[in-house]
Amino acid sequence: MTLLALIVDDETPARSELRHLLGGIDGVEVAGEAASAREALVLAERMAYDVVFLDISMPGGAGGIETAKKLAALPNRPTVVFVTAHDDRAIQAFSVEAVDYLLKPVRQDRLVTAVRRVAAIRAGSAPGEAGELRIPVLGEDGETLLIDPAEIAYAEADRDHSTLALIDGRHLACTRSLRTLEDQLPTTFLRIHRSQIVNLAQVAALEPIGEGRVQARLSDEGGTTLAVARRQTRALRTALGLR
C-alpha cells in the first residue's frame, strides 16, 4: 500500500525538505503541495490523500488547527500529521485527532515513525481498532508520545483534560478527559474516585484510613497512595479478587 501525501507549508524550503525526507521512505508518495490552508483544502477536495503533513502556523487565513478540522469533515478524511517549529501546540494538535506532532527540523527517524502510524491507521489497524490502544500525551521535550495503557499507573483529572502518572515516575499531560479515558481504557483500569482512575495491575495493597475508608497503595518505588471513594471501595475489592 502506498500512502498519498499532501505537504502544506507556506515556506518553500520547508516543503522541499519534507518532500526530500519522505522520498527516502518506502510506501509513501508526495502527490501534492500547498502553500496555504485554502490551497490545501482545494487540493484535498479533488484528491483522496491518505495523509496531510500540515504546518500548524501559517500567515493569513486559517491556521493548521482550523484546517485540520475542515479536513476531518471531508468524505475521504485524510490522516493529519502536524509539522511545526512550535513546541507548545501539541495539546491543541491532538484535540483535532492528529496522529503525530513533528518538530522542525524534522528528524528522519521521527518521520519514519509517523509514516508507520499513518500506514497502520489507513490499513485499519489503528489504536482502538485492533486492540492496540495508545493514548497521546505531550512529552517532556515537547514531542508527542503514544502511551501503551500498561505504562500508566493512574490517570488524574485536570479540568477538561487529564494527567497520566506513568509507572516510570513521569507525569504527562493528556488532552482527553478522565471520562473519555474511562470509556477507552481496558477493563484492567477502574475509577476509584471522581478524579482518578487506577491501573489494577499497579495496586500493591489496600490500606484502611479510618471511618470505613481505604487507600490504594501502588507498587511504585515511592509507594504512592490514592484515596478510594467510599462508594467505589466494594468495586475495587471485587476487581482485585478480595472479599
Average pLDDT, the chain: 87
**Residue 5, amino acid:** A
Q: Mean of the pLDDT values across residues 99-125?
A: 82
pLDDT at 115 over 70: yes
Check whether domain 3-122 has CATH 3.40.50.2300, yes or no? yes
**Residue 67, amino acid:** T
pLDDT cut 90: percent of the chain above it? 52
pLDDT in tens, 175-208: 888 988 888 888 889 999 999 999 999 999 999 9
Sequence-separated (6 or more) residues with CB below 8 Å from residue 221: 169
108: number of Cβ within 10 Å: 11
Q: Which residue has the higher pLDDT, 127 or 92?
A: 92
pLDDT at 79: 93
Full DSSP string of the chain: -PEEEEEE-S-HHHHHHHHHHHHTSTTEEEEEEESSHHHHHHHHHHS--SEEEE-S--SSS--HHHHHHHHHTSSSPPEEEEEES-SS-HHHHHHTT-SEEEESSPPHHHHHHHHHHHHHHHTT--TTTSS---EEEE-TTS-EEEE-GGGEEEEEEETTEEEEEETTS-EEEESS-HHHHHHHS-TTEEEEETTEEEEGGGEEEEEEEETTEEEEEESSTT--EEEPPGGGHHHHHHHTT--
pLDDT at 88 over 70: no
pLDDT at 94: 64
> Is 148-239 in the same CATH topology as 3-122?
no
User: Side by side, which strands form the sheet with 100-103?
Assistant: 28-34, 3-8, 51-54, 79-84, 100-103
Q: What whole-number distance in Å separates Cα of residue 50 and Cα of residue 52?
A: 7
CATH superfamily of 148-239: LytTr DNA-binding domain (2.40.50.1020)
pLDDT in tens, 17-67: 999 999 999 999 999 999 999 999 999 999 999 999 999 888 766 688 899
pLDDT at 129: 39
Domains of the chain by residue range:
3-122, 148-239
Q: How confident is the model at residue 130 (pLDDT cuts 50, 70, 90)?
A: very low
